[in-house]
Each structure stands twice: as structure tokens, then as C-alpha cells.
């Protein structure tokens, strides 16, 4: 998300075209996110994890985020399905993951955003709260993003719909007899 507004369709009085005034500023805040689905107890509901950071993520920052996820999931075994971002597959990341007994990594196929429920999460988030936002500070963008996170968290069906749309399931298949 950046200080450049995400221009979306809006309403205005007839004959009064809305104007979006902003400072041409490329400062941005990056987001790392995860949707957690409990395979053995779907009644627990999905868990959303977010991390906002000014600038871009590198391997060290993503490892820090995963350390926070380790605390968040409190000893549970986690299978993390990730996309092809280069920081996800760096030598340092692979070495760190090899030392973790709580974390198993799986990779999505290349160029398959339709299989990633987090892509649908980003789409839902970006199309609502920060739409047409011409903020002066990164804090404005972060606040709008947080409002979107709360909106998604408050609707227990929305994270499930992201998973349903991918046609993936958190439940392991039952072996045939």
C-alpha cells in the first residue's frame, strides 16, 4: 500500500466530478499476511495474522514475522503454504526453516494466484478501506488497512470464502478402505 491513492469508482452529484488531490509520493507500507485454517477442528474458525512494515520486506524481516507467528500459534504444528516471492526461498530462509520443528513449508505452483486465499484477502482489503484515500502520512494508510483487517476479522465467513474460492481444503482426504 502506498500514499498514491487506489483510484476506485465513487458517487458524486450530477455535474460534479470528484477530484482526488494527493501529493505524488511513493512512500509505502508493506504487509505480510497469513490465513490460518485448523485442519482437525474447523469450528475454531480461521485465524488472520498481519504484519505492517514501512518499506519492503526482506528475508530477515520475514523471519521476524515467522518468529511472531510461532508465538501466535503457541506450540501448534503449522503448514505454511507460500507463493514464489524470492525472500520466501532465500538461502537464509531455508536455513532458518530447517531449524524449526513446528513449521512445514509448501510452495504454491508458479503463477497460480488463484490458489492463494491470501491474494483474495489482499483484494478485499485494497478495494474497500484505502480506496480513494489520499493520505498525507503512512499512518493514514496503516489506519485504513487496520480498519480493513478488523472488518475481515469481524466477519467469520469472509476468510472461509477466500479458501472456498480457491477450491482448496484444510481437511486431509480420507484414505479409501
Let me know: does 147 contact 38? Beta carbons within 8 Å: no
C-alpha torsion angle, residues 93, 80, 78, 161 (rounded to 10): 160
Per residue in 100-112, pLDDT (tens digit) is 998 888 888 877 8
172 Cβ partners below 8 Å, 6+ apart?
39
Per residue in 167-177, pLDDT (tens digit) is 877 766 566 66
pLDDT at 141: 78
Per residue in 81-125, pLDDT (tens digit) is 887 777 777 899 889 999 999 888 888 887 788 888 888 888 888
Q: Please compute the mean of the pLDDT values over residues 1-21 and round it to a whole number.
A: 65
Amino acid at each position: 500500500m502506498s500514499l498514491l491513492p487506489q483510484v476506485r469508482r465513487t458517487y458524486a452529484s450530477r455535474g460534479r466530478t470528484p477530484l482526488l488531490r494527493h501529493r505524488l509520493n511513493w512512500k509505502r507500507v508493506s504487509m505480510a499476511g497469513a490465513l490460518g485454517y485448523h485442519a482437525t477442528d474447523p469450528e475454531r474458525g480461521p485465524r488472520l495474522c498481519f504484519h505492517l512494515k514501512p518499506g519492503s520486506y526482506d528475508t530477515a524481516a520475514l523471519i521476524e514475522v515467522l518468529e511472531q507467528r510461532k508465538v501466535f500459534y503457541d506450540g501448534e504444528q503449522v503448514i505454511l503454504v507460500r507463493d514464489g516471492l524470492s525472500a520466501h526461498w532465500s538461502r537464509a530462509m531455508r536455513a532458518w526453516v530447517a531449524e524449526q520443528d513446528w513449521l512445514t513449508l509448501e510452495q504454491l505452483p508458479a503463477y497460480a494466484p488463484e490458489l492463494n486465499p491470501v491474494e483474495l484477502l489482499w483484494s478485499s482489503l485494497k478495494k474497500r478501506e484505502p480506496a480513494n484515500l489520499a493520505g498525507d502520512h503512512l499512518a493514514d494508510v496503516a489506519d485504513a488497512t487496520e480498519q480493513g483487517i478488523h472488518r475481515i476479522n469481524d466477519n467469520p465467513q469472509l476468510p472461509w470464502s477466500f479458501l472456498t474460492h480457491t477450491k482448496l481444503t484444510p481437511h486431509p482426504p480420507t484414505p479409501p478402505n
